[in-house]
């Protein structure tokens, strides 16, 4: 192989590498801004203290109609920004709802009490939601019957406080392990990036469609959610 031909091959491979790199960057930028279009006309976000301070007026300008705010985790943890976010969202006129991250390591009664003493009852609030997913801070895996019994107890207590059925936000791995959407007759909030989910046993009411969306008013990526028409 001549030096000239070798140089051409090197230039060709370099060009292909640059093109692939630019394509990957373009896809990443597109993914960060992606949200479902029609027919999903009612869209919003869910956040926690991990997302830092939020400019809720800017979030509203970004197209959010509602916001779910993490209030509690397990039996004794409260989100440090919940009260601030709860009040600020109301000022914008956006709808607001509260989230609890359920722990398989804590008693259901204690978790319900944690949520109920943190989140005020508000007639104009969206239904409370409970997040069901496997977490690094809890490695136990109880039997399905025990998990479902605990969840029923949790739901009963929270619904008595809020006056509305709780929405179940469940990931595919948790659903596969415990079959909660078949066992618990509640609205389903499914989680799957970019492609509409089909793993719940019943039709989902909400869909977390993009876990890495970037919007005005929040410095970190947010969960972007849509409501089924």
- Give the pLDDT confidence score for residue 153 in this predicted structure: 98
List, for the chain, all residue ranges whose pLDDT scores fall below the cut of 70. Answer: 1-31
| Dihedral pair phi/psi, residue 98, rounded to 5° | -110, 145
User: Which residues make beta-bridge pairs with 68?
Assistant: 46, 97
Say which residues have a Cβ less than 8 Å from residue 188's Cβ, sequence separation at least 6.
167, 168, 170, 181, 200, 202, 203, 204, 205, 206
- Give the pLDDT confidence score for residue 11 in this predicted structure: 53
Tens digit of each residue's pLDDT (9 = 90 or more) over 115-124: 999 999 999 9
Residue pointed to by tokens 């060709």:
12
Task: Report residue 38 as tokens.
Answer: 């029609």
Task: Classify residue 226 by burial, with Cβ atoms within 10 Å: 0-12, 13-18, 19+.
Answer: buried
- Give the pLDDT confidence score for residue 33 in this predicted structure: 82
User: Which residues make beta-bridge pairs with 96?
Assistant: 67
Task: Classify residue 93 by burial, with Cβ atoms within 10 Å: 0-12, 13-18, 19+.
Answer: exposed
- The widest CA-to-CA distance across the chain, in whole angstroms, is 81
Residue pointed to by tokens 């640059």:
18
Say which residues have a Cβ less than 8 Å from residue 109's Cβ, sequence separation at least 6.
153, 154, 157
Task: Report residue 161 as tokens.
Answer: 């406080």
């Amino acid at each position: 192989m001549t030096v000239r031909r070798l140089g051409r091959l090197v230039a060709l491979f370099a060009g292909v590498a640059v093109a692939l790199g630019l394509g990957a960057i373009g896809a990443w930028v597109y993914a960060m801004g992606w949200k479902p279009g029609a027919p999903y006309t009612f869209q919003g976000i869910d956040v926690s203290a991990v997302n830092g301070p939020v400019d809720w007026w800017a979030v509203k300008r970004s197209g959010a109609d509602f916001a779910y705010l993490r209030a509690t985790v397990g039996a004794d943890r409260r989100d440090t920004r919940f009260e601030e976010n709860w009040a600020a969202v109301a000022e914008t006129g956006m709808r607001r709802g509260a989230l609890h991250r359920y722990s398989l390591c804590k008693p259901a009664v204690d978790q319900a009490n944690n949520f109920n003493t943190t989140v005020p009852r508000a007639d104009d609030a969206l239904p409370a939601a409970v997040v069901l997913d496997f977490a690094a801070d809890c490695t136990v895996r109880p039997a399905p019957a025990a998990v479902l019994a605990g969840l029923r107890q949790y739901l009963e207590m929270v619904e008595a406080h809020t006056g509305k059925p709780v929405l179940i936000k469940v990931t595919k791995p948790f659903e596969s392990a415990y079959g909660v959407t078949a066992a618990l007759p509640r609205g389903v909030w499914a989680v799957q990036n970019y492609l509409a989910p089909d793993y719940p046993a019943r039709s989902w009411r909400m869909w977390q469609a993009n876990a890495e969306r970037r919007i005005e008013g929040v410095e970190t990526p947010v969960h972007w959610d849509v409501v089924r028409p």
